[in-house]
Amino acid sequence: MLIHTNLRLKTFLDGGIMSKLNNSILFLKKILSRLGLAAVFLIFSSQTAIAEEVSAEVKAKAQLTLAQWMKDRSDDSGKFYFVDRQANELVAGYSANVHPMIVPYKDGAIFVCSEVVTENGERITADFLTVPVGDGYKVIEVIMNNRPSIKKMMGM
pLDDT of residue 52: 61
* Residues 59 and 44 grouped into a single domain: no
Structural domain count, the chain: 2
Residue 61: CATH number of its domain: 3.10.450
Range of the domain at 94: 54-153
* Residues 97 and 42 grouped into a single domain: no
* Residues 46 and 69 grouped into a single domain: no
* Residues 24 and 89 grouped into a single domain: no
* Residues 83 and 148 grouped into a single domain: yes
pLDDT of residue 13: 41
pLDDT of residue 155: 87
- 52-89: b or e for each residue (b if 16 or more CB lie within 10 Å)? eeeeeebbebbbebbeebbeeeeeeeeebebebeeeee
Q: Per residue in 78-98, pLDDT tens?
A: 999 998 887 889 999 999 876
* Residues 84 and 99 grouped into a single domain: yes
- The residues of the chain scoring below 70 in pLDDT are 1-52, 98
* Residues 26 and 97 grouped into a single domain: no
Give the pTM: 0.64
For the four alpha carbons of 39, 40, 45 and 47, in that order, the dihedral sign comes to: positive
pLDDT of residue 84: 81
* Residues 34 and 109 grouped into a single domain: no
